[in-house]
């Protein structure tokens, strides 16, 4: 039941603003991306202070609903909400009613009954966030839905690139590995297109989908032209017997693994984690000064703070005004 | 081969309608009188004989439709559809005959199961209903069913629809043996090692949304295999729910070489493409999947030139809670009996893509011919199987508009041009 609100009808806005979710990069325009990155920079400044907690989302409830295991995404969303003073509630599928066979719809309705302001959801199925958005009145942030999208990962990668390379426009990024099964790659391809980053997809033929709108090649030599090499995790289930996406992990590593020899000096390397060292990425690369991997994790916090803030405030004007008022 | 409950024969006169039976070459404003369910007179002027008179001005009176491919979910999932609700839906859609697929629980693979269905149809079916029996026991793709006994009991054809017959050797034996029963095989063509895990046509939309792809070649490679076997055995076969341009090309080629093969296409494959999947609406998830625009136009062309002789709804009811899940978790299939004519009229006939005559033929005479059923026609002395259509009417598709027990329609919320005013099936008025 909706609470009764004692507001005179004539004080209401003529039409409620559309509820804002962050489900897919495809829903964003360049302005939205720039606004989100700007908000993240503002929060980064605030985190340099001795007391890192901001009162911005005080009294708001953020529910983290995780149907898949996750370390960095779930921890950074939780910390992001806490840094903004929101109440948080984390529900993991293991140990919850999901174990008893409760459907996503019923779980969403149950959590929706607490009137959360935001539901952050990670789910193995494409379209799960849309279902939660349909069944609850919360703002929904997609923390990864199957092989579809992982928008906050793409945003934190843009943030990292901007911080480390000083620009986005005109950069060239090669994404290497299992593009087919990667929600990160799908979000990145769209995000790169929005900010005019040239993108080349590199990997074994069966793992390169056609029709994503980026250049594709099976030739690992193509990474030399890129400013940044973005390495995707080679998921173990892809090399199980009978899958035959690649003949073997050994062969994959030999032909597409990122080694120091395959990189130009100074070429930056990114990885969304978790890494399989010695498989898709040589440990020497992972630990080199040119690897931005830890920087990506750090960016995750401020970008997720920005994402929570953005869905709850809506509209560039509101964001700037509130950011100025509350952060300053 | 068709069963329904006994209903009183209609005593009706339809006046002023455009009587349209493209197969018989009739297109004229005529009056039709039906006495006790039998067409008694078709003429410019007929006596009313104190019958009820229906004003057909502005309406089209045509042979009623035949759907060669529906899922009635009985036995096993009566919560989704029953013979009563499924045939009521058929009546609402203008059908005088439907054929039910055997992928129920249990599968229709024994005389006992088929016999029980026939008895139920005599009690519950308002529209004459025929049943296909499985090709293999339990549709497991290993052993042939007792096709002789099943055919004797009235199985119209044999199909493992829902799953393919994976083994080429078994398919060959099925073709050989089915020939002794005089009943065709109706084949769901899918190579599982190519479609494996796929939810959406392998193309740009699946790539962008991240869905595992179900490529066109997963269908066409099986179509080619089965057509080769049919050619080698010189036996007829029917290809269910064709979706890919390559499959259509293979069927056309085989027919040109004299292979006795036929094909059907669904309304959704004629109207939608994989672009519709962007909505992530589980009601656009079906097997085979919606494909690309070039596939859709190839299907329309094949329907127009007669390569594809039948329109089949592949009416596949699903419980609401089973479709109320993320796209990937949802079962395949959509309903179609109540909207097939109206959506095809709206999307193909009105814009001038398909002649009304062709649509009527492919929804009635075409499927009847393939399955050896009596062709619905408008002639003195035959049982009345007629549909009265208002081409200017509107069919509003809403959650509550269905006679089917299920509402998993991709047309929810749409207002379609044309409306089924009346259906007479096997002499009885079953819809008005």
B280 to A210: CB separation less than 8 angstroms, yes or no: no
Question: Would you say residue B393 lies in a domain?
Answer: no
Instruction: Determine the pLDDT at residue A19.
Output: 59
Domains of chain A: 15-150+299-313 (3.40.50.1370), 151-296 (3.40.50.1370)
Question: Would you say residue B142 lies in a domain?
Answer: yes
Residue by residue, DSSP assigns B335-400 as --TTTHHHHHIIIIITTTSS-HHHHHHHHTHHHHHHTTPPPP---TTSBP-EEEEEEEEEEE--TT
Beta carbons within 10 angstroms of residue B281's beta carbon = 18
Contacting residues for A129 by C-beta, under 8 A, at least 6 apart: A21, A23, A121, A123, A140, A141, A142, A145
Taking contacts as CB-CB distances below 8 angstroms, the residues of chain A near B193 are none
Residue of B nearest to A124 (CA): B328
The answer to whether residue A89 scores a pLDDT higher than 90 is: yes
How is residue B215 written in tokens?
A: 């490529």
Three-state secondary structure call for residue A56: coil
- To the nearest whole number, what is the mean pLDDT of chain A? 88
Instruction: Determine the pLDDT at residue A70.
Output: 85
pLDDT single digits (tens) B202-217: 999 999 999 999 999 9
Measured in angstroms, the CA of A121 and the nearest CA of chain B are apart by 13
Of residues A93 and B261, which shows the higher confidence score?
B261
Total structural domains in chain B?
1
A148 touches chain B (CB under 8 A): yes
3-state SS string over A164-185? HHCCCCCCEEEEECCCCCCHHH
- To the nearest whole number, what is the mean pLDDT of chain B? 97
Least confident of A19-23, A126-130, B167-171, B319-323: A19-23
Question: Would you say residue B48 lies in a domain?
Answer: no
A211 touches chain B (CB under 8 A): yes
Q: Are residues B161 and B132 in contact, defined by beta-carbon separation less than 8 angstroms?
A: yes
Question: Would you say residue B54 lies in a domain?
Answer: no
Question: Would you say residue B35 lies in a domain?
Answer: no
Helices and strands (H, E) in chain A, number of each type: 10, 9
**In B, what residues contact A, Cβ < 8 A?**
203-213, 280, 321, 324-329
Instruction: Say how far apart CA A123 and CA A126 lie, in whole Å.
Output: 8
Taking contacts as CB-CB distances below 8 angstroms, the residues of chain B near A126 are 209-211, 280, 326-328
Taking contacts as CB-CB distances below 8 angstroms, the residues of chain A near B209 are 126, 148, 186
Contacting residues for B352 by C-beta, under 8 A, at least 6 apart: none
State residue A281 phi and psi, 5-degree precision.
-140, 130
Instruction: Determine the pLDDT at residue A322.
Output: 41
The answer to whether residue A315 scores a pLDDT higher than 80 is: no
Question: Would you say residue B241 lies in a domain?
Answer: yes
Beta carbons within 10 angstroms of residue A314's beta carbon = 14
Which CATH number fits the domain that encloses residue B232? 3.20.20.140
Distance of CA B209 to the CA centre of its chain: 31
Least confident of A24-28, A277-281, A320-324: A320-324
pLDDT single digits (tens) A162-216: 999 999 999 999 999 999 999 999 999 999 999 999 999 999 999 999 889 899 9
Instruction: Say how far apart CA B70 and CA B99 lie, in whole Å.
Output: 6
B326 to A126: CB separation less than 8 angstroms, yes or no: yes
The answer to whether residue A318 scores a pLDDT higher than 70 is: no
Three-state secondary structure call for residue B32: strand
Instruction: Say how far apart CA B96 and CA A250 lie, in whole Å.
Output: 62
The answer to whether residue A16 scores a pLDDT higher than 60 is: no
pLDDT single digits (tens) B317-368: 999 999 999 999 999 999 999 999 999 999 999 999 999 999 999 999 999 9
The size of the A-B interface in CB pairs under 8 A is 64
Measured in angstroms, the CA of A323 and the nearest CA of chain B are apart by 34
Taking contacts as CB-CB distances below 8 angstroms, the residues of chain B near A213 are 204, 208
Instruction: Determine the pLDDT at residue A12.
Output: 40
The answer to whether residue B174 scores a pLDDT higher than 90 is: yes
Instruction: Determine the pLDDT at residue A101.
Output: 76
Instruction: Determine the pLDDT at residue B45.
Output: 95
Question: Would you say residue B420 lies in a domain?
Answer: no
pLDDT single digits (tens) B120-164: 999 999 999 999 999 999 999 999 999 999 999 999 999 999 999
Instruction: Determine the pLDDT at residue A42.
Output: 94
- Mean pLDDT, residues A203-232 taken together: 95
Query: What dihedral angle (degrees, nearest 10) is formed by the CA atoms of A132, A137, A142, A147?
Result: 20
Rg (alpha carbons) of chain B, rounded to whole number: 21
Q: Are residues B429 and B423 in contact, defined by beta-carbon separation less than 8 angstroms?
A: yes
For residue B264, the cross-strand partners are B310
Find the catalytic residue in B160, B295, B314, B390.
B314
How is residue B74 written in tokens?
A: 């009985």
- Mean pLDDT, residues B32-39 taken together: 97
Instruction: Determine the pLDDT at residue A7.
Output: 40
- Mean pLDDT, residues A88-104 taken together: 82
Instruction: Say how far apart CA A212 and CA B203 lie, in whole Å.
Output: 9
In angstroms, what CA-CA distances link B385 with A138, B65, B419, B428? 53, 8, 17, 8
Asked whether the CA dihedral A20, A22, A27, A28 is positive or negative, the reply is positive
Residue of B nearest to A145 (CA): B210
Of residues A247 and B251, which shows the higher confidence score?
B251
With cut-offs at 50, 70 and 90, classify the pLDDT of residue A239: low
Beta carbons within 10 angstroms of residue B345's beta carbon = 21
Instruction: Determine the pLDDT at residue B61.
Output: 98
A128 touches chain B (CB under 8 A): yes
ipTM of this predicted structure:
0.85
The answer to whether residue A240 scores a pLDDT higher than 80 is: no
A126 to B324: CB separation less than 8 angstroms, yes or no: no
- Mean pLDDT, residues B168-175 taken together: 98
Domain that holds residue B287: 64-375+407-412
Nearest of B187, B168, B186, B309 to residue B228 by alpha carbon:
B168
Three-state secondary structure call for residue B282: helix
Instruction: Determine the pLDDT at residue A11.
Output: 41
Instruction: Determine the pLDDT at residue A97.
Output: 73
Q: Are residues A301 and A79 in contact, defined by beta-carbon separation less than 8 angstroms?
A: yes
Query: What dihedral angle (degrees, nearest 10) is formed by the CA atoms of B95, B98, B103, B104?
Result: 80
With cut-offs at 50, 70 and 90, classify the pLDDT of residue A156: very high
Catalytic residue flag (residue B314): yes
Question: Would you say residue B34 lies in a domain?
Answer: no
Measured in angstroms, the CA of B194 and the nearest CA of chain A are apart by 11
- Mean pLDDT, residues B395-401 taken together: 96
Taking contacts as CB-CB distances below 8 angstroms, the residues of chain B near A209 are 206-207, 213
With cut-offs at 50, 70 and 90, classify the pLDDT of residue A71: confident
The answer to whether residue A9 scores a pLDDT higher than 70 is: no
- Mean pLDDT, residues A269-290 taken together: 96
Least confident of A41-55, B33-47, B113-127: A41-55
A104 to B326: CB separation less than 8 angstroms, yes or no: yes
């Amino acid at each position: 039941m909706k609470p009764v609100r004692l507001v005179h009808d004539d004080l209401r806005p003529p039409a409620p603003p559309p509820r804002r979710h962050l489900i897919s990069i495809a829903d964003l325009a360049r302005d939205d991306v720039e606004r989100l990155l700007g908000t993240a920079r503002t929060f980064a400044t605030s985190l340099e202070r001795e007391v890192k907690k901001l009162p911005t989302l005080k009294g708001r409830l953020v529910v983290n609903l995780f149907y898949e295991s996750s370390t960095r995404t779930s921890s950074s969303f939780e910390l992001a909400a806490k840094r903004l003073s929101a109440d948080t509630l984390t529900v993991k599928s293991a140990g919850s009613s999901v174990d008893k066979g409760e459907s996503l719809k019923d779980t969403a309705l149950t959590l929706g009954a607490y009137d959360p302001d935001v539901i952050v959801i990670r789910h193995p199925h494409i379209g799960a966030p849309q279902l939660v958005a349909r069944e609850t009145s919360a703002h929904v942030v997609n923390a990864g839905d199957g092989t579809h999208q992982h928008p906050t990962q793409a945003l934190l990668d843009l943030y990292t690139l901007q911080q480390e390379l000083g620009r986005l426009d005109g950069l060239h990024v090669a994404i290497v590995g299992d593009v087919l099964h990667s929600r990160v790659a799908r979000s990145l391809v769209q995000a790169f297109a929005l900010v005019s980053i040239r993108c080349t997809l590199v990997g074994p033929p069966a793992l390169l989908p056609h029709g994503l709108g980026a250049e594709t090649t099976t030739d690992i030599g193509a990474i030399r032209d890129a400013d940044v090499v973005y390495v995707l995790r080679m998921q173990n289930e892809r090399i199980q017997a009978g899958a035959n996406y690649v003949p073997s992990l050994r062969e994959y590593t030999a032909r597409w693994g990122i080694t120091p020899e395959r990189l130009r000096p100074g070429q930056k390397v990114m990885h969304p984690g978790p890494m399989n060292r010695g498989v898709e990425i040589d440990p020497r690369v992972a630990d080199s000064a040119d690897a931005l991997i830890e920087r990506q994790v750090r960016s995750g916090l401020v970008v997720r703070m920005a994402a929570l803030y953005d869905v709850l405030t809506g509209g560039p004007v509101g964001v700037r005004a509130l950011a100025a008022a509350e952060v300053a | 081969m068709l069963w329904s409950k006994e209903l009183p024969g209609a005593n009706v006169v339809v006046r002023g309608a455009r009587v349209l039976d493209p197969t018989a070459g009739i297109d004229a404003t005529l009056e039709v009188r039906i006495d006790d369910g039998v067409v008694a007179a078709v003429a410019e002027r007929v006596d009313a004989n104190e019958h009820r008179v229906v004003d057909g001005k502005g309406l089209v009176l045509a042979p009623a439709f035949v759907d060669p491919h529906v899922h009635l979910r009985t036995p096993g999932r009566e919560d989704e559809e029953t013979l009563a609700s499924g045939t009521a839906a058929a009546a609402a859609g203008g059908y005088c005959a439907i054929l039910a697929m055997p992928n129920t629980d249990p599968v229709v693979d024994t005389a006992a199961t088929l016999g029980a269905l026939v008895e139920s149809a005599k009690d519950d079916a308002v529209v004459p209903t025929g049943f296909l029996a499985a090709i293999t026991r339990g549709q497991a793709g290993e052993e042939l069913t007792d096709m002789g006994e099943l055919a004797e009991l009235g199985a119209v054809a044999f199909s493992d629809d829902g799953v393919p017959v994976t083994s080429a050797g078994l398919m060959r034996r099925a073709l050989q043996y089915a020939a002794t029963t005089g009943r065709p095989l109706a084949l769901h063509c899918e190579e599982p090692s190519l479609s494996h895990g796929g939810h959406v046509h392998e193309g740009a939309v699946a790539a962008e949304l991240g869905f595992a792809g179900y490529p066109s070649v997963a269908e066409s490679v099986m179509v080619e295999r089965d057509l080769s076997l049919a050619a080698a055995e010189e036996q007829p076969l029917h290809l269910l729910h064709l979706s890919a341009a390559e499959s259509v090309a293979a069927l056309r080629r085989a027919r040109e070489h004299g292979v006795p093969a036929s094909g059907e296409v669904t309304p959704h494959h004629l109207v939608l493409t994989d672009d519709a999947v962007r909505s992530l609406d589980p009601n656009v998830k079906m097997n085979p999947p919606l494909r690309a625009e070039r596939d859709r136009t190839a299907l329309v062309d094949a329907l127009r030139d007669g390569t594809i002789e039948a329109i089949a709804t592949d009416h596949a009811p699903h419980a609401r809670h089973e479709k109320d899940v993320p796209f990937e978790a949802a079962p395949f299939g959509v309903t179609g009996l109540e909207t097939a004519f109206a959506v095809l009229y709206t999307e193909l006939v009105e814009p001038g893509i398909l002649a009304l005559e062709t649509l009527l033929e492919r929804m009635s005479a075409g499927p009847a011919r393939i399955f050896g059923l009596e062709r619905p026609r408008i002639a003195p002395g035959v049982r009345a199987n007629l549909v009265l259509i208002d081409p200017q009417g509107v069919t509003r598709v809403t959650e509550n508009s269905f006679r089917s027990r299920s509402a998993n329609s991709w047309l929810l919320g749409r207002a379609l041009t044309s409306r089924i005013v009346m259906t007479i099936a096997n002499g009885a008025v079953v819809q008005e």
